[in-house]
A = this chain, B = another copy of it.
Amino acid sequence: MRETLAAIRPLDEEAMAAARARHDRLTKPAGSLGMLEDLSIRLAGLAGACPPPLPTPAAVAVFAGDHGVHAQRVSPWPQEVTVQMVANYLAGGAVINAFAREIGADVHVVDVGVAAEIDAAPGLISAKVRPGTADLAVEPAMTLDEARAAIETGIRIAGQLIDGGAKILVAGDMGIANTTPAAALIAAFTGRDAGEVTGRGTGIDDYTFNLKISVVRSALRRLPADADALRVLAEVGGLEHAAIAGFMLGAAAHRVPLILDGVNTVAGALAAAALHPGVTAALVAGHRSVEPGATAGLAHLGLEPLIDLGMRLGEGTGAVLALPIVSAAVRVLHDVATFDSAGVTEK
């Protein structure tokens, strides 16, 4: 982890200036591509090159874990749905598989903490730190060593996927009850009240919603005001959130962009940014989830999402939909003719 944090560098100003200058020469009114221009300039700064590499191929990693806090009945779904959905991903039957096939991306499933044995299978990365967290409502979700091990797992997987050729990473999550630790992490890292950042996850009734807020609020009371990121993750987080944080740090250290999905990946991003603020240079907000914590977290990170379709599924589904937009933004700097080269008169 120490080496990874030390490898994260600021954006390359020279490459960004070159991208800005290039945009002004391309056959389109200046600024007419809006957010796509800003994004392509930032990706030039991340890569330290103009144009930056086309973000293809893309690798999606769905980090899966279980949560002791499920015992508090914060979710209407049985815990075994986590492992059942892992099997669904590996069989190619989930929404993330359909989207990734449509968009063109590989899906990897990372067992960083599922509370069941999972047989080896193509597409599965077995990296279980422990079989589900402890119940954060009554005790720390994991030890500091376990949180660190989950972060290291995410870093390692980012490196493996990038060594395997991935030019962009997409983060996803699966874990019944995981929007409870996500809300706790977002409250802790943004300083907002639990009531502001807790959402209804997969869809819960008012009774469960109020219970969920109470669980988050009382768990947060155990955290000292000066708790560092590792302590916050260990006390109120999930194994997938810690691994996702590491995944982001690994991407940033390799100067490879990573697309965030919904509230669980935003929680991971806040943890990553608490470990090294420079990580946000590599992060692209894929979409705006309907979970209020996602919006609060993105605002804290200073990231504006590319799409906003009222989605709340997770798995990386919102992130992968943003991938063609990111690719298109980069391709403009590669392919579009200049006023001079195309013989187009300027105003």
Q: Which partner residue on chain B sits nearest A26 by CB separation?
A: B95
Given A35-B310, A88-B337, A95-B336, answer yes or no on A102-B327 (Cβ-Cβ < 8 Å).
yes
Query: A85 to chain B: which residues have CB within 8 Å?
Result: 27, 344
Cα-based distance from A76 to B75 in the complex (angstroms): 59
Cα-based distance from A139 to B226 in the complex (angstroms): 73
Q: Is the CB of B95 within 8 A of A343?
A: no
Query: A313 to chain B: which residues have CB within 8 Å?
Result: 28-29, 32-33
Given A33-B311, A99-B328, answer yes or no on A84-B345 (Cβ-Cβ < 8 Å).
yes
Q: Is the CB of A332 within 8 A of B202?
A: no
User: Does A306 make an interface contact (CB < 8 A)?
Assistant: yes
Q: Which A residues between 30 and 75 are near B, CB-CB below 8 angstroms?
A: 30-36, 75
Q: How far is the CB of A62 from chain B (nearest CB, A)?
A: 14
User: Does A307 make an interface contact (CB < 8 A)?
Assistant: yes
Q: Is the CB of A328 within 8 A of B98?
A: yes
Given A84-B342, A88-B342, A309-B36, answer yes or no on A29-B202 (Cβ-Cβ < 8 Å).
yes
Cα-based distance from A33 to B98 in the complex (angstroms): 13
Q: Is the CB of A345 within 8 A of B80?
A: yes
Q: Is the CB of A87 within 8 A of B321?
A: no
**Ranked 4 nearest A-B pairs via Cβ:** A34-B310, A93-B337, A29-B202, A98-B335
C-beta contact mask, A12-37 vs B, less than 8 Å → 1, else 0? Answer: 00000000000000111111111110
Number of identical monomers bound together in the oligomeric complex: 2
A35-B309, A91-B342 known, 17 other contacts, Cβ within 8 Å = A27-B88, A29-B313, A32-B202, A34-B309, A34-B311, A77-B345, A78-B345, A84-B342, A85-B344, A93-B341, A94-B337, A97-B336, A98-B332, A98-B335, A102-B324, A306-B309, A321-B325
Q: Is the CB of A98 within 8 A of B331?
A: yes
Q: Is the CB of A344 within 8 A of B202?
A: no
Q: Which A residues between 292 and 339 are near B, CB-CB below 8 angstroms?
A: 306-313, 317, 321, 324-325, 327-328, 331-332, 334-337
Q: Which of A88, A290, A334 is most buried by chain B, counting CB atoms within 10 A of its CB?
A: A88
Q: How far is the CB of A221 from chain B (nearest CB, A)?
A: 30
Given A34-B310, A36-B311, answer yes or no on A344-B84 (Cβ-Cβ < 8 Å).
yes
User: Does A2 make an interface contact (CB < 8 A)?
Assistant: no
Q: Is the CB of A336 within 8 A of B94?
A: yes
User: Does A103 make an interface contact (CB < 8 A)?
Assistant: yes
Q: How far is the CB of A58 from chain B (nearest CB, A)?
A: 12
Cα-based distance from A87 to B339 in the complex (angstroms): 12
The residue that A28 contacts in the complex, of B26, B95, B309, B347, with Cβ under 8 A, is B95
Q: Is the CB of A337 within 8 A of B91?
A: yes
Show 7 residue pairs from A and B whose CB-CB distance is below 8 angstroms, ordered by the A residue.
Answer: A29-B203, A32-B312, A36-B309, A81-B344, A92-B335, A93-B341, A98-B335
Query: A321 to chain B: which residues have CB within 8 Å?
Result: 324-325, 328
User: Does A101 make an interface contact (CB < 8 A)?
Assistant: yes
Q: Which of A81, A91, A98, A343 is most buried by chain B, counting CB atoms within 10 A of its CB?
A: A98
Query: A331 to chain B: which residues have CB within 8 Å?
Result: 98-99, 101-102
